[in-house]
Amino acid sequence: MPMREDLGRLSGYHSPQVDVAVRLNTNESPVPPPAGWREALQKAVGEIPFHRYPDRAATGLREALALHHGVTRDEIFCANGSNEVLQCLLLAYGGRGRSAVTFEPTYALHSHIARLTGTPVIQGRRAADFTVDEGEVRRVLAEAVDPVTFFCSPNNPTGTLEPDSTIEAALAVSRGLVVVDEAYGPFSGRSAAALAERPGGDRLVVVASFSKTWSLAGLRLGYAIAPAPVVEALEHVALPYHLDALTQEAGRLALDFAGETEKRVASIVAERERLQQRLARLAVDQWPSEANFVLFRPLGRDGHDVWEQLLERSVLVRDTSNWPGLQGCLRVTVGTRDENDVFLSALEEVLG
Ligand SMILES: *Cc1c(COP(=O)(O)O)cnc(C)c1O
């Protein structure tokens, strides 16, 4: 039997994982999580009652996250990566007769997951500088039926931060949920979570991830900060015991190392600034970034060609050159100082 007909039109979401010396294509942290965290986890593993189902409510982890963000436990929902949070949001609030709204170019999984859940997608456009114009927010939301509106701040793959005013405009114009994906939030030092106190804040959902800023992409843990009724709806659609005991414990322990994580974030930000200064001397356009990656466009060169020539030098970046609105662009993750230097000299060589 063929799979669901509407799925056939959707190509999966893949970033090629090629074996190279310098891998700067998926925005992971270039450094492993704190050694102290690993030790604490090894100890904790000996105590986990693996013959029992995990705490379905993830009480300990949610309490720790609530404390970290100054909210209450019933305002936190946890899942296997923030992508599962997004999927639960769309299962609960999307579907036929509803819509998902994105402003392109942005994180491809917002519209992809929407379509997987049978939610029609309405795509707005970003301005030339990749910001979302408030007029565009009004125009797109006017035609959307019961929308779940997605923002990404800082935006992947452009690096731009979404101003509060844009998110407030979406909350004012629509009566649906407004979701702000903050997978890279801590790199910017900003969060839309504070807008929960403003009009429409009872429909605001902030989504966060352990994958980037916490150096824990291998763990698969993400969460939402949302009004309690939204959290209840998400629990309604999540599979029973979806979050295993090990992940709950690992995440809870990670929060004990928040100070170390902040230092790592600060050093990646410093390295990003150095990378951008060096890029400024090359024949590329680049966009200011508030994240751990930089979008750039080689001038007078075919983007895919440059990507291939970097790959020949064992440097893998993200080829975004044929994405709508990103013609000729490539996205590079901020790596270690050494990795960035290898990337920069390879790029220098390729650009001649
Ligand atoms: C990397 C990324 C995520 C992370 O997803 P996880 O499932 O938590 O690994 C979420 N949103 C955006 C925009 C990302 O770039």
State how far the alpha carbon of 340 is from the alpha carbons of 96, 255, 346, in Å: 45, 28, 10
Q: Helix or strand or coil: residue 166?
A: helix
Q: Whose CA is nearest to atom 15 of ligand 1?
A: 156
CA distance 180 to 151: 5
Q: Whose CA is nearest to atom 7 of ligand 1?
A: 81
Res 348: pLDDT: 98
Average pLDDT value for residue range 256-285:
97
User: In 312-326, which positions are buried (b, 16+ CB within 10 angstroms) versus exposed (e)?
Assistant: ebebbbbbbbebeeb
Q: Helix or strand or coil: residue 151?
A: strand
Question: What is the full DSSP assignment across 83-113?
Answer: HHHHHHHHHHH-STT-EEEEEESS-HHHHHH
Does ligand 1 come within 6 angstroms of the Cβ of 81? Answer: yes
Judged by phi (left if over 0) then psi (alpha if -120 to 50, else beta), residue 148 lies in beta
Does ligand 1 come within 6 angstroms of the Cβ of 61? Answer: no
CA distance 111 to 124: 12
User: CB under 8 Å, gap of 24 or more: what pairs does 138-146 form?
Assistant: 138/169, 138/173, 140/101, 140/103, 141/101, 141/170, 141/173, 141/174, 142/173, 144/99, 144/101, 144/174, 144/176, 145/97, 145/98, 145/99, 146/93, 146/97, 146/98, 146/99, 146/175, 146/176
Percent of the chain residues past pLDDT 70, beyond the cut? 98
List, for residues 232-268, the tens digit of each pLDDT value.
999 999 999 999 999 999 999 999 999 999 999 999 9
Strands (DSSP E) found in the chain: 22-24, 76-79, 99-104, 121-125, 147-152, 178-181, 204-209, 222-225, 284-286, 293-298, 315-319, 330-333
271 pLDDT band, cuts 50/70/90, is very high
Which residue among 102, 150, 156 is best mutated to probe the pocket of ligand 1, counting the most ligand atoms within 8 A of its Cβ? 156
List, for residues 43-101, the tens digit of each pLDDT value.
999 999 999 999 999 999 999 999 999 999 999 999 999 999 999 999 999 999 999 99
Distance in Å, CA 47 to ligand 1 centroid: 30
Does ligand 1 come within 6 angstroms of the Cβ of 107? Answer: yes
State how far the alpha carbon of 113 is from the alpha carbons of 25, 134, 170, 339, in Å: 21, 25, 21, 32
Rg, the chain, Cα only: 20
Distance in Å, CA 235 to ligand 1 centroid: 20
- Cβ atoms 192, 290 nearer than 8 A: no
Question: For the chain, what's the residue count?
Answer: 352
Partners of 316 in the β-ladder:
23
Give the sheet arrangement for strand 293-298, strand by strand: 22-24, 315-319, 330-333, 293-298, 284-286
308 pLDDT above the threshold of 90: yes
List, for residues 144-180, the tens digit of each pLDDT value.
999 999 999 999 999 999 999 999 999 999 999 999 9
CA distance 263 to 321: 33
13 pLDDT band, cuts 50/70/90, is low
11 pLDDT above the threshold of 90: no
Does ligand 1 come within 6 angstroms of the Cβ of 181? Answer: yes
Average pLDDT value for residue range 193-202:
93
Distance in Å, CA 210 to ligand 1 centroid: 9
Average pLDDT value for residue range 205-223:
98
Judged by phi (left if over 0) then psi (alpha if -120 to 50, else beta), residue 159 lies in left
Tell me how far apart the terminal alpha carbons of the chain are, to the nearest angstrom.
53
Does ligand 1 come within 6 angstroms of the Cβ of 211? Answer: yes
Element (H, E) at 185: helix 185-188
- Cβ atoms 180, 206 nearer than 8 A: yes
Question: What is the full DSSP assignment across 242-305?
Answer: -S-HHHHHHHHHHGGGHHHHHHHHHHHHHHHHHHHHHHTTSSEEE---SSSEEEEEETTS-HHH
Atom of ligand 1 nearest to the CA of 209: 8
Atom of ligand 1 nearest to the CA of 212: 1
Distance in Å, CA 86 to ligand 1 centroid: 10
Does ligand 1 come within 6 angstroms of the Cβ of 152? Answer: yes
Kindly report the average pLDDT of the chain as a whole number: 96
Res 60: pLDDT: 98
Q: What angle do CA 139, 115, 211 make, to 5 degrees?
A: 95
Which residue among 209, 215, 242, 293 is best mutated to probe the pocket of ligand 1, counting the most ligand atoms within 8 A of its Cβ? 209
